[in-house]
Amino acid sequence: MKEKPKMYQNKIDKIFHNNKLVYMSSDKIKMGDVYKINDIRKKIDDIINDNSFIYRTRVNIVINNEIISRKIIGISNNNLVTIDNEYIPIDSIQDIYK
C-alpha cells in the first residue's frame, strides 16, 4: 500500500505557564449576605405568588430584631410596599413570614 502523509504535530518543547496565577477568594460574610437576601426575596415571591394572595396579605417582618406586622401589596424596585404606602427596603429585612 501507498504510504499516506502523516498529520501535522506540533513539537512539545514548549513551556506552559497557563496555570501559575490562579487565585480564588471569597468572603464568607458577604457570600452569606447575598444568599440571605436571595432567600428573603424568594420568601417574598412565595408569599406574593401564593393562591391566597389576591391584593394584600398580613405578614410579620423582622427588622433589627424587631417584629413588625404589616399588610403588603407588592414589590417596587428594591422595596416592599405596604397598604399604607410605606416602603420597606428588602436589604434591611432579616426575615419575613405570614
Contact 72, 59 (CB under 8 A): yes
Please give the pLDDT value at position 23: 61
Return the domain boundaries, the chain. Answer: 28-97
Of 28-32, 63-67, 80-84, least confident by mean pLDDT is 28-32
Backbone φ, ψ for residue 23 (5° rounding):
-150, 135
Cell of 2: 501507498
Q: Do residues 40 and 66 make contact, with C-beta atoms less than 8 angstroms apart?
A: no
What's the predicted TM-score (pTM) here? 0.62
Strand 95-97's sheet: what is its strand order?
Answer: 87-89, 79-82, 66-76, 57-63, 95-97
The C-alpha cell at 54 is 389576591
For residues 63-74, average pLDDT? 93
